[in-house]
Amino acid sequence: MNFGVWIPNCRHLATPDIIRSTAVRAEQLGYGSLWVSDHVVVPHANVKNFGETVFDPLVTLAVAAGATRRVRLGTTVLIVPYRNAVVAAKMIASLDALSGGRVVLGIGAGWVAAESAMLGVPFAERGAMTDEYLSAMQELWTKREPSFAGKYTQFSGLTFEPKPLQKPHPPIWVGGHGRASLRRAVQFGAAWHPINRSPEELRTGLAEIARLCQAPERAGVDAPRPRARRRAQRAGRSDSRARRSRRRASRAGVPRRGRPRARRAAHPLRRARPARARLTVSDRPAGAAPRMMARRSGSGPDLVLFHGGMGSWKHWIRNIGPLSARFTVHALDHPSYGDSAPVPRETTGPAYLDLVHGLFLDMFPGSAPLRLAGFSFGGAIAASVARRLVPRVTHLCLVSPGGFPSRRFGERPTRSYRDAGDDEKLFREVCRHNLLVNMLSDPASVTEEAVDIQAECVRRARFDSRKVSGGGTLLGDLAQLSRRETGCRVRLLWGVRDDSPFRPSNLLIGEIREAVGTLDMHRIPAAGHWSAYENAAEVNRLMLEFFSS
């Protein structure tokens, strides 16, 4: 069992000398971690509880880092929406690198409405902001060429260094005990970090976390389990109080050897000794990939985005922000793409569609209405999911969809990525060439951002999308969806320049029109296949109009 000590960065003991000396003394006595809390300003109504002086938690931990060598440095908790996501990511990464990889990032969404208002944070949106900021921070910490498009944070075309020393990043301990906090702990956390909970509340929280971890998109991730962490006791804690703690631990199901024992303190900070307890805080293995990752932003009705072949959620990087102004946007990484776990190489197209359908049901249980948008390969997937889930799916927008019967039209003058070998410059040249052949119509559209996205997606694609894109499911799915009783509206977007000997637009659009009858179809000017990127403004306008109807 590791003992941690809260060092006083607020209230009357918050002085530079006490902060430094407490950190040094805690390490000398063998404690495993130092912890600080977070408030930026103190509303007058909260002065009695918080005190007037509150030192910044990350600056305080930097001071502690300079005075110590071994002890871990934790926030309990950092209020994520209070700080710009990029600035906070920079401070945390710098602290982790300079301290030798000792940071434990305890996080929360905040609970003081008055403080949030003083900092310009919409209190009702603090949860959504926390989720988006954490996603943005992870992007900055783990990617060589980070880019992000959300409702509250957008960035691209930048270099972010230093990266945290810990890989993939410092462990995230998620505070709080409500449903949103438990869901956030499963989505982002290495640990659940509750405070002042009864045994029954802990038992209920752990059961809910275990249930959430059973969802297919979390397959391969262990459910958070009890793990050793206790606060240092104040001097003079009585044996009777320790006995009460042991009784509460017994009711919570903690093994006997893991229960607290009475111990008298001879000093406000007793020497920490080895123990075997497994009490309150839980974690999971780092780096385990969900079977289907979803990046969420915004608020409102659910809108799910399916990306194209050799792609990831970043196929929608120029659309997520505008769409999230009206909807809760879920941008997927399909299985074997992006941050999602791989599927077996022998997986067939029909088996892949069945897998995505099952994962999707676990991500979106119940009967709430859904809006779907799919691009290329993702269009075939979206149509398959919509057909299986009517009448829940009320709107389906397809952007140059795949899923037509497999046929050989003209040759594609693409280049093989394998030819580049380990030559990064040549690899990027191949990406640029293939973008112009397959995706974009204007050389000016092949930006460094577009090449970065293509390079990253190609390297992380582990499924042959042609098994679905050429699987012939699209027209049958659309024929069933076009029936009036389904209640599902369908809109087709197709780039004006998405027309070539190997993708004859008039023929393919004609086949869709024949399958559905009346077709709500819009050609996107000045755009090729990847019209959602090349003419994002027009695609965003048409999608917002459609999904809002």
Give residue-wise pLDDT tens across range 519-538. 999 999 999 999 999 999 99
Residue 253 and residue 311 in one domain = no
Please tell me the pTM assigned to this model: 0.53
Confidence of residue 453 (pLDDT cuts 50, 70, 90): very high
Residue 219 and residue 306 in one domain = no
Residue 117 and residue 246 in one domain = yes
Domain that holds residue 524: 293-409+464-547
> What value does the mean pLDDT take over residues 198-218?
79
Q: Look at residue 287 in the predicted model and tell me its pLDDT.
A: 42
Confidence of residue 117 (pLDDT cuts 50, 70, 90): very high
* Complete DSSP assignment for 244-313: HHHHHHHHTT--GGGS------SSSSPPP-------SB----TTPPPSSEEEEES-SSEEEEE--TT--G
Confidence of residue 289 (pLDDT cuts 50, 70, 90): low
Q: Look at residue 189 in the predicted model and tell me its pLDDT.
A: 87
Structural domains counted in the chain: 2
Residue 77 and residue 183 in one domain = yes
Residue 501 has which token pair? 């000997």
Q: Is the dihedral of CA 269, 274, 279, 283 positive or negative?
A: positive
| CB-based contacts of 490, cutoff 8 Å, min separation 6 | 396, 397, 398, 478, 481, 482, 516, 519, 520
275 inside domain: no
Residue 251 and residue 342 in one domain = no
Residue 250 and residue 112 in one domain = yes
Residue 65 and residue 128 in one domain = yes
Kind of pairing between the strands at 33-36 and 3-6:
parallel
The residue out of 238, 258, 278 marking a domain boundary is: 258
Separation between Cα atoms, residue 107 and residue 76, nearest integer Å = 7
The residue out of 258, 278, 312 marking a domain boundary is: 258
Separation between Cα atoms, residue 173 and residue 89, nearest integer Å = 15
Cβ–Cβ < 8 Å for 383, 403: yes
Residue 116 and residue 242 in one domain = yes
Give me the CATH number covering residue 23.
3.20.20.30
CA dihedral defined by 520, 525, 529, 530, rounded to 10 degrees? Answer: -100
What one-letter code names the amino acid at 340?
S
90 inside domain: yes
263 inside domain: no
Cβ–Cβ < 8 Å for 416, 479: no
Confidence of residue 272 (pLDDT cuts 50, 70, 90): very low
Residue 13 and residue 110 in one domain = yes
40 inside domain: yes
Examine the pLDDT at 232 and tell me if it is beyond 50: no
Residue 215 and residue 307 in one domain = no
302 inside domain: yes
Examine the pLDDT at 377 and tell me if it is beyond 70: yes
Helix/strand/coil for 384 = helix
Separation between Cα atoms, residue 252 and residue 5, nearest integer Å = 24
Residue 51 and residue 110 in one domain = yes
266 inside domain: no
Residue 303 and residue 197 in one domain = no
360 inside domain: yes
Helix/strand/coil for 103 = strand
456 inside domain: no
Give me the CATH number covering residue 497.
3.40.50.1820
Q: Is the dihedral of CA 76, 81, 85, 87 positive or negative?
A: negative
Please state, rounded to an integer, the average pLDDT across all residues of the chain.
86
Q: How far is CA 277 from the centre of its chain?
A: 32
Residue 176 has which token pair? 């709080």
The residue out of 241, 258, 275 marking a domain boundary is: 258
